[in-house]
Chains A and B, each alone.
Chain A
Amino acid sequence: MRSDEPSLLLKLSAIGGLIFLHWPLAIIVVYAFTTEDKSYQFPPPGLTLHWFSVAWARPDIWAALTLSFNVALVATGLALVLGTLAAAALSRAQFWGRDNVSLLLILPIALPGIITGIALRSAFNLMDLPYSVFTIVLGHATFCIVVVYNNAVARFRRLSPSLVEASFDLGADAFQTFRYVVLPNIGTALLAGGMLAFALSFDEVIVTTFTAGQQTTLPIWMLNELVRPRERPVTNVVAVLVMAVTFFPILAAYWLTREGEHVAGGSR
């Protein structure tokens, strides 16, 4: 496309930057196999799968994992409904206060998490709502809405409005139009948004520390281990697990929205 070649300096600094972004993640994986359990000695004196079986046998990890999974599932579900509704409303309509509504959607991730967390916590206090799985889900859904919204609104904008008109014109009612025309066209975007929301919820820790009571999600478990380490190699194993659980939804979301570019839009 372009005739000019990148300079060596640019090439090296770009590649160097990417390596900087990735090598800490690689280190974590290495440490999960170390035979050393007292310090962070490098290089590991030996490699073992032992810690995976130790982690596997730990009921507290399983409990935290299950809780995180359930919370992420419910929060994603709520965010999907609310985010899609907001995207449908804001994708084309022009109305007074439109910019304020979109700012409101972004606010929970634009403001530092600690503010969202502490605000929700004191609100739950005022409402006499005991901290529970429910309050964790409320907090997570609040910042997951925008992730779904961002994905859905982009797709809605590419969806030709005449498709919906054509459906009504051909005799379909609003339900049928949503089910047969709108949903199949925004489906992959919703799936992608849902995946990202899931990944976000699954490893969220800042808001969760404020909205959880005695419940321990996996990130809270990790945070406790970071502050007061007990069995370091087990923490390493859980870190690898968390990476794996968030890796696949992100990859899937990327492919889903990429393919979507050919699916949606007008048919011309």
Chain B
Amino acid sequence: MTSTSATAVLFQNVSRHFGTVRAVDGVDFEIGQGEFFAMLGPSGSGKTTCLRLIAGFEQPTAGHIEIFGETAEGLAPNRRDVNTVFQDYALFPHMTVLNNVAYALMVRGVPRAEREKRAREALSLVRLEGMDARRPAQLSGGQRQRVALARALVNRPKVLLLDEPLGALDLKLREEMQEELRRLHKQLGLTFVFVTHDQGEALSMADRVAVFNKGRIVQVGTPEDIYQRPTTRFVADFVGSSNILTPDQAPRFGGVSRWTSLRPESILIGAAADAMDVRQTAEVIDQQFQGAMRKTRLKINGLEICAMAPASQTLGVGQAATVGWSHGALHAMDGEGNDV
């Protein structure tokens, strides 16, 4: 793998060990210029360490890192054209909002008038105006998030790193900031690298997602790839929820003798199942109303299977029903599991 002009970040067989702990263990990936790249995984899976390797806070134990074609090993964080939005925002508590945002310009010796002008521009970019003189402690969580973004963007880095930036926000604010980040990404055309343990966030925001487990990348692909074509049991289980069939069970559901994923929403119940490739008879165990859908537990071939029925489709407990799905809904994959 060699870097091309379109590559923003390149990892070649990168490892980072802390004593005997292999936080990152032989990772390869390539992030394209202008891409919105998400690193997804449970805590301790190595995604944050990878981010810190790009930022320069950690140095690889082995392997090679390039940022825009330039070798990054041995390069200090303050010499990388990469900026970070920290998980705890890391706003300087003793500085005003304006001085926080202008910090990167101040340490480079930009004259005061110029740096304040550019800091105000960055603040208006994240739609946070009129707060210049406040201290971080006087802001709400969402506002701090915006200041942290403005501060990281003021110098237009080539790569913006975001370390679980939305983790501390409540649901509504989080959705708002997700849209905001998408908008900024489109508007600025920068490369965004986003670390999260929230699969919904990764799928809805990123162009491509890398799924981490135990210091390794298990799968890299578009959100659709990751969701619909998980390559391993771990991915199928971690991203969304899925019915996972063992190699023994899969043939009875119309698949081949391999580990197989069958997403609940691909299972149709009743008349809608008639047109499907595979049809079976099921017994309804119970139904749970979830607003838009009814989560339906079924017994098929002696196995408990989860399906998503439309909210209007009410089924009685113990009732027999025809269920069906297409061949395409059965996705064969590797058996590597999530027994972490």
Answer yes or no: B108 CB below 8 A from chain A CBs: yes
Chain A residue numbers with a CB within 8 Å of B55 are: 165, 169
Chain A residue numbers with a CB within 8 Å of B298 are: none
Task: Tell whether, in the assembled complex, residue B103 and residue A165 are in contact, meaning their CB atoms are under 8 Å apart.
Answer: no
Supposing A180-B103, A267-B137 touch, asked if A168 and B77 sit within 8 A by C-beta, the answer is yes
Among candidates B76, B83, B88, B104, residue contacting A160 with C-beta atoms closer than 8 Å: B88
Supposing A171-B78, A176-B107, A262-B137 touch, asked if A165 and B86 sit within 8 A by C-beta, the answer is yes
Question: With A and B bound together, what is the CA distance between A142 and B46 in angstroms?
Answer: 45
Q: Render B193-223 as a binary contact track against A, CB cut-off 8 A, 1 for contact.
A: 0000000000000000000000000000000
Chain B residue numbers with a CB within 8 Å of A185 are: 93-94
Task: Tell whether, in the assembled complex, residue A263 and residue B94 are in contact, meaning their CB atoms are under 8 Å apart.
Answer: yes
Say how far A118's CB is from chain B's closest CB, in angstroms: 45
Task: Tell whether, in the assembled complex, residue A163 and residue B90 are in contact, meaning their CB atoms are under 8 Å apart.
Answer: yes
Question: With A and B bound together, what is the CA distance between A168 and B80 in angstroms?
Answer: 10
Closest to A175 in B: B107
Count chain A CB atoms within 10 A of each CB in B55, B107, B144, B168 and give the residue with the most: B107
Supposing A165-B57, A165-B77, A267-B93 touch, asked if A171 and B88 sit within 8 A by C-beta, the answer is no
Task: Tell whether, in the assembled complex, residue B90 and residue A160 are in contact, meaning their CB atoms are under 8 Å apart.
Answer: yes
Task: Tell whether, in the assembled complex, residue B78 and residue A168 are in contact, meaning their CB atoms are under 8 Å apart.
Answer: yes
Chain B residue numbers with a CB within 8 Å of A181 are: 92
Say how far B136's CB is from chain A's closest CB, in angstroms: 4
Question: With A and B bound together, what is the CA distance between A185 and B95 in angstroms?
Answer: 10
Task: Tell whether, in the assembled complex, residue A171 and residue B136 are in contact, meaning their CB atoms are under 8 Å apart.
Answer: no
Chain A residue numbers with a CB within 8 Å of B168 are: 268
Interface of chain B residues 47 through 74 with chain A (CB within 8 A): 55-57
Say how far A187's CB is from chain B's closest CB, in angstroms: 9
Chain B residue numbers with a CB within 8 Å of A166 are: 84, 86, 90, 92, 151
Answer yes or no: B243 CB below 8 A from chain A CBs: no
Answer yes or no: A162 CB below 8 A from chain B CBs: yes
Interface of chain A residues 143 through 183 with chain B (CB within 8 A): 160, 162-163, 165-173, 176, 180-181
Task: Tell whether, in the assembled complex, residue A170 and residue B76 are in contact, meaning their CB atoms are under 8 Å apart.
Answer: no
Chain A residue numbers with a CB within 8 Å of B77 are: 165, 168-169
Question: With A and B bound together, what is the CA distance between A187 and B56 in angstroms?
Answer: 28
Answer yes or no: A264 CB below 8 A from chain B CBs: yes
Closest to A183 in B: B94
Chain B residue numbers with a CB within 8 Å of A264 are: 93
Q: Render B102-123 as a binary contact track against A, CB cut-off 8 A, 1 for contact.
A: 0110111000000000000000
Task: Tell whether, in the assembled complex, residue A170 and residue B103 are in contact, meaning their CB atoms are under 8 Å apart.
Answer: yes
Question: With A and B bound together, what is the CA distance between A127 and B90 in angstroms?
Answer: 50
Task: Tell whether, in the assembled complex, residue B78 and residue A173 are in contact, meaning their CB atoms are under 8 Å apart.
Answer: yes
Answer yes or no: B91 CB below 8 A from chain A CBs: yes
Closest to B106 in A: A180
Task: Tell whether, in the assembled complex, residue B88 and residue A172 are in contact, meaning their CB atoms are under 8 Å apart.
Answer: no
Answer yes or no: B33 CB below 8 A from chain A CBs: no
- Residues of A in contact (CB 8 Å), total 24
Q: Render B272-290 as a binary contact track against A, CB cut-off 8 A, 1 for contact.
A: 0000000000000000000
Supposing A171-B107, A171-B108, A262-B137 touch, asked if A184 and B88 sit within 8 A by C-beta, the answer is no
Closest to B87 in A: A162
Count chain B CB atoms within 10 A of each CB in A263, A264, A267, A268 and give the residue with the most: A267
Task: Tell whether, in the assembled complex, residue B103 and residue A266 are in contact, meaning their CB atoms are under 8 Å apart.
Answer: no
Answer yes or no: B155 CB below 8 A from chain A CBs: yes
Answer yes or no: B37 CB below 8 A from chain A CBs: no
Supposing A168-B78, A169-B83 touch, asked if A163 and B107 sit within 8 A by C-beta, the answer is no
Question: With A and B bound together, what is the CA distance between A160 and B94 in angstroms?
Answer: 13
Question: With A and B bound together, what is the CA distance between A78 and B264 in angstroms?
Answer: 70
Q: Render B150-177 as a binary contact track against A, CB cut-off 8 A, 1 for contact.
A: 0110010000000000001000000000
Answer yes or no: A265 CB below 8 A from chain B CBs: yes
Answer yes or no: B89 CB below 8 A from chain A CBs: yes
Task: Tell whether, in the assembled complex, residue A162 and residue B90 are in contact, meaning their CB atoms are under 8 Å apart.
Answer: yes
Chain A residue numbers with a CB within 8 Å of B93 are: 163, 185, 263-267
Among candidates B76, B88, B94, B155, residue contacting A266 with C-beta atoms closer than 8 Å: B88
Chain A residue numbers with a CB within 8 Å of B57 are: 165, 168-169
Task: Tell whether, in the assembled complex, residue A170 and residue B94 are in contact, meaning their CB atoms are under 8 Å apart.
Answer: no
Closest to A173 in B: B78
Chain A residue numbers with a CB within 8 Å of B104 are: 170-171
Question: With A and B bound together, what is the CA distance between A78 and B55 in angstroms?
Answer: 37
Closest to A166 in B: B90
Closest to B76 in A: A168
Chain A residue numbers with a CB within 8 Å of B87 are: 162
Supposing A165-B86, A268-B168 touch, asked if A171 and B94 sit within 8 A by C-beta, the answer is no
Assuming A160-B88, A169-B83, what are 12 further A-B pairs, CB within 8 angstroms?
Answer: A162-B87, A163-B90, A166-B92, A167-B103, A167-B107, A168-B78, A169-B152, A170-B151, A172-B107, A266-B89, A267-B93, A267-B136
- Tell me the B residues contacting A by CB distance below 8 Å: 55-57, 76-78, 82-84, 86-94, 103-104, 106-108, 136-137, 141, 144, 151-152, 155, 168
- Pairs A–B under 8 Å by Cβ, sample size 19: A160-B88, A162-B87, A162-B90, A163-B90, A165-B77, A169-B77, A169-B78, A170-B104, A172-B103, A172-B107, A180-B103, A185-B94, A262-B137, A266-B90, A266-B93, A267-B92, A268-B88, A268-B141, A268-B168
Of all A-B residue pairs in the complex, the 5 with the closest CB atoms, nearest first, are A162-B90, A170-B104, A267-B91, A166-B90, A267-B136
